[in-house]
Amino acid sequence: MRNKILVVGQTPPPFGGQAIMIERLLEGKYKDTELFHVRMSFSREMNEMGRFSFFKIFHLILCIPRTKFIIKIKEQLY
């Protein structure tokens, strides 16, 4: 049986610690495990991190249906 893991998180850019580690996680090779990724890109540059933006709210609203879509599609495939 193949394990399926949905990773919801930011990958570079910007090149912060968490984004780099999520990217490394996704690039890894795992036996009997398949990773699916929903990219969160709230900040395009490091100076945008921790600041309010309407773009961030809009992006979050879009991430939720993407996540639900991937869950639904992947359940049907297996």
Please list the residues that pair with 3 across neighbouring strands. Answer: 33
pLDDT digits (tens, 9 = 90+) for 34-71: 999 999 887 777 777 778 889 889 988 999 999 999 88
Using the predicted structure, report yes or no on whether residue 78 has a pLDDT greater than 60: no
How many domains does the chain divide into?
Answer: 1
- The pTM of this model reads 0.74
Note the pLDDT of residue 46: 75
Range of the domain at 51: 3-77
With vertex at residue 69, the alpha carbon angle to CA 43 and CA 37, rounded to the nearest 5 degrees, is 45
* Tokens 């570079």 -> residue: 12
Residues whose CB falls within 8 Å of the CB of residue 42, separated by 6 or more in sequence, listed in order: 10, 48, 49, 53, 55, 56, 59, 60
